[in-house]
C-alpha cells in the first residue's frame, strides 16, 4: 500500500502521453520495479472495493480526489482513444475552411462525422487531463496533441501544432483551442468546462475560456449523466439554427435572461466538511410552493438540487428521498451532539455526560417551522428523529470516553470507537454520499427571485443572472458588466428547468448576448 501514496510522477501531463502511447511500461520506484499494468489494476481494484479513502489523502488535503485517480484516468484515456480510432476509420470526413472571425451555425440534424468525433475526443481528452500538471502552462494543451494525433481521421490535418515562440502565450493557446472546439462541436459543450472564477489563475483569459492550468475542477453537469438521460435545457431541435460568433476575446451568441439570484448558500464543500446544513434548511424557507407541477415539497426540491437530480448517470429515483432523510438526520445530529468533555477558551471544562435535549430541540426550531408550514409530508427528518440520532451519537461518545480510561478491556478486542460506530450508521446514507460526490466541489445552492432553487458556481453572488444560451444543454450564470456585456461565471442546474421547460418559457425573449 505504500506505493499508493500520491507520487508526483503520476501527476505530470507528459506522463499521460508516455504511458498512453507506449506498448509496454515499467515503473521504477527506488530499487523496485512494477509493470504499469499492475499499477492500473491496483488502482481499479481500490476503486471497485471502495478502499480509496482508506489509503488516500484526507478529503481536506486532496479535495476529494481519490488515490489512484491519475492512473485510472490514463486507462480511461486509452480506452476512449481506441473507441475514437475505431469509430473514426469508418465515418465520413469533411474539411471546413478556417476563418479568423467565425460565425458558426449548428444544425440539429447534422450527421456526426469523423471530424466531429475527433474534436469530441479532443475535448474529452482535455477534460480528463485537467488534474495533471505542467511546468510550461502551454503544455496542458501541447502535451496531449500526440495522443490526439492517434485519433485523427485519414487525410485530416492536425488543427493545432505546438508553438513555443514568444508570441505564443498560455492565454492565446487556451483561447485558440476553445475557439476551435466551440466552432466544431454542437451545443456549446465546452462552456461547461469553464471552472469557478475563484480558482482561475490567468486573469487575462476571456471568461468563456477554461483555465487549463487549474487542476481541481468539478465534474461538468453535461458529464454527470449518460447520453440517454443528458440534460436538455434548450433542445437543439426546438430552437434550430443557433449561431455564435467569436472575434478575439469576444463571444456573441443568442440567449435570454431566465431569473436573477436573490440568495446564495454556503459553498457545498464547506457544508460537507462542517456537517452544518442549516444554510440548506434556510434556503428551503424561500422555495416556491407549489414547485411547478412536480408535486415535490421543499425537502425533495432541496435534495434533488443538491445532487443535480442525478445518481449513477441517471435521474435520481424516488427511493433516494429516504436515503437523503437519513443523511440530513445524521448531519444535524452530528453537528448538535457535544463532546463529553469540552474545554472553553478560559480553560474551564464542561461536562456533557447528560445530553441536553431541550437545548437541541430549541436549536432545531427552524426545522420544526418547516414542518409546521408544510401542507403535506416534508422530505426532511422530523425533530424527534434527529433527537433519536443525537441520543445514539451521544451514547457512542460516552462509550468511547469510558473505554479510553478503562484498563479492563482486552487490548486485542478493543471496543469500537465513536468514529467507527458513526461510520456504521452512515452506511444507510451511502447512496446520497455517492450522488453528492460529483456535484460538491466549487458549487453552492442558491435561490432565484421567483423562488426556484439551483446549484451553481461557488463564486456566484446575489444579483447575478441565470440565463439560457441557445442550443446549450444546461443554463449558465452570467454577471453583467458596465458596458452591457457579460462575464461567464459557469454552468448551473435549476431544478425543474433542465429538460426544455426553460426554452418554452423564453422562446419569445431570445436576444444577442455578448460574453467577454
Show Cβ contacts of residue 16 under 8 Å, excluding neighbours closer than 6 positions. 73, 74, 77, 129, 132, 143, 144, 147
Q: In the predicted model, what is the mean pLDDT of residues 99-110?
A: 45
**What are the cell numbers at 430?**
451511502
Nearest-angstrom CA–CA distance, 181 and 36: 32
Q: Which pLDDT tens digit goes with each residue over 233-284? A: 999 877 666 689 999 999 999 999 999 999 999 999 999 999 999 999 999 9
409 vs 157 pLDDT, higher one: 157
Q: How confident is the model at residue 378 (pLDDT cuts 50, 70, 90)?
A: very high
What pLDDT band is residue 413 in, cutting at 50, 70 and 90? low
Give residue-wise pLDDT tens across range 414-465.
567 777 777 777 888 989 998 999 999 999 999 999 999 999 999 999 999 9
Q: Distance between terminal CA atoms of the chain?
A: 48
pLDDT tens digits for range 193-212: 999 999 999 988 999 999 99
Q: Give the integer Cα–Cα distance in Å for 313 and 76.
A: 17
pLDDT at 409 > cutoff 80: no
> Is the separation of the CB atoms in 314 and 225 below 8 Å?
yes
pLDDT at 467 over 90: yes
Where in the chain are the domains? 2-186, 224-296+438-516, 309-430
Confidence (pLDDT) at 218:
87
pLDDT band at 215 (very low <50, low <70, confident <90, very high): confident
Output the pTM of the full model. Answer: 0.87
For 27-66, what is each residue's pLDDT tens digit? 887 888 888 778 778 777 766 775 654 554 444 444 445 5
User: Mean of the pLDDT values across residues 340-356?
Assistant: 87
The C-alpha atoms of residue 470 and residue 234 are separated, in whole angstroms, by 6
pLDDT surpasses 90 at 23: no
Q: Do residues 86 and 118 touch, judged by C-beta distance below 8 A?
A: no
Amino acid at each position: 500500500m505504500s506505493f499508493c501514496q500520491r507520487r508526483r510522477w503520476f501527476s505530470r501531463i507528459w506522463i499521460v502521453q508516455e504511458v498512453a502511447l507506449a506498448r509496454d511500461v515499467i515503473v521504477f520506484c527506488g530499487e523496485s520495479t512494477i509493470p504499469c499494468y499492475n499499477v492500473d489494476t491496483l488502482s481499479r481494484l481500490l476503486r471497485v472495493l471502495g478502499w480509496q479513502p482508506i489509503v488516500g489523502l484526507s478529503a481536506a488535503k486532496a479535495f476529494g480526489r481519490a488515490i489512484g485517480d491519475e492512473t485510472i484516468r490514463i486507462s480511461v484515456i486509452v480506452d476512449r482513444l481506441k473507441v475514437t480510432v475505431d469509430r473514426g476509420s469508418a465515418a465520413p470526413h469533411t474539411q471546413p475552411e478556417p476563418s479568423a472571425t467565425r460565425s458558426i451555425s449548428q444544425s440539429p440534424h447534422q450527421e456526426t462525422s469523423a471530424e466531429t468525433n475527433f474534436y469530441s475526443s479532443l475535448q474529452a481528452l482535455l477534460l480528463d487531463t485537467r488534474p495533471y500538471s505542467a511546468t510550461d502552462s502551454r503544455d496542458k494543451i501541447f502535451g496531449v496533441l500526440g495522443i490526439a494525433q492517434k485519433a485523427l481521421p485519414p487525410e485530416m490535418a492536425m488543427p493545432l501544432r505546438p508553438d513555443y515562440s514568444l508570441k505564443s502565450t498560455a492565454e492565446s493557446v487556451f483561447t485558440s483551442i476553445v475557439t476551435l472546439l466551440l466552432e466544431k462541436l454542437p451545443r456549446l459543450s465546452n462552456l461547461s468546462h469553464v471552472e469557478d472564477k475563484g480558482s482561475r489563475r490567468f486573469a487575462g483569459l476571456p471568461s468563456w475560456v477554461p483555465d487549463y492550468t487549474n487542476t481541481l475542477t468539478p465534474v461538468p453537469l453535461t458529464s454527470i449523466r449518460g447520453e440517454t438521460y443528458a440534460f436538455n435545457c434548450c433542445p437543439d431541435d426546438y430552437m434550430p439554427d443557433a449561431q455564435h460568433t467569436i472575434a478575439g476575446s469576444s463571444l456573441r451568441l443568442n440567449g435570454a435572461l431566465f431569473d436573477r439570484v436573490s440568495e446564495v448558500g454556503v459553498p457545498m464543500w464547506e457544508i460537507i466538511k462542517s456537517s452544518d446544513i442549516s444554510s440548506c434548511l434556510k434556503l428551503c424557507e424561500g422555495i416556491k410552493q407549489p414547485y411547478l407541477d412536480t408535486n415535490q415539497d421543499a425537502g425533495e426540491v432541496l435534495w434533488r438540487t443538491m445532487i443535480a437530480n442525478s445518481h449513477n448517470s441517471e435521474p435520481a429515483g424516488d427511493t433516494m428521498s429516504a436515503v437523503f432523510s437519513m443523511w440530513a438526520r445524521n448531519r444535524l445530529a452530528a453537528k448538535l451532539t457535544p463532546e463529553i468533555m469540552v474545554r472553553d477558551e478560559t480553560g474551564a471544562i464542561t461536562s456533557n455526560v447528560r445530553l441536553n435535549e431541550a437545548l437541541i430541540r430549541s436549536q432545531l426550531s427552524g426545522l420544526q417551522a418547516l414542518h409546521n408550514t408544510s401542507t403535506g409530508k416534508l422530505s426532511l427528518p422530523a425533530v424527534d428523529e434527529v433527537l433519536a440520532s443525537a441520543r445514539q451519537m451521544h451514547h457512542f461518545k460516552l462509550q468511547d470516553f469510558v473505554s479510553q480510561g478503562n484498563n479492563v478491556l482486552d487490548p486485542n478486542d478493543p471496543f469500537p470507537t465513536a468514529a467507527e460506530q458513526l461510520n456504521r450508521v452512515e452506511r444507510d446514507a451511502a447512496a446520497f454520499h455517492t450522488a453528492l460526490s460529483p456535484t460538491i466541489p466549487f458549487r453552492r445552492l442558491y435561490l432565484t427571485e421567483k423562488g426556484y432553487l439551483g446549484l451553481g458556481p461557488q463564486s456566484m453572488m446575489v444579483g447575478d443572472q441565470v440565463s439560457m444560451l441557445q442550443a446549450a444543454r444546461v443554463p449558465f450564470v452570467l454577471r453583467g458588466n458596465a458596458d452591457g456585456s457579460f462575464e461567464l461565471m459557469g454552468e448551473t442546474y435549476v431544478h425543474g428547468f433542465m429538460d426544455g421547460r426553460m426554452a418554452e418559457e423564453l422562446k419569445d425573449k431570445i436576444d444577442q448576448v455578448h460574453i467577454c
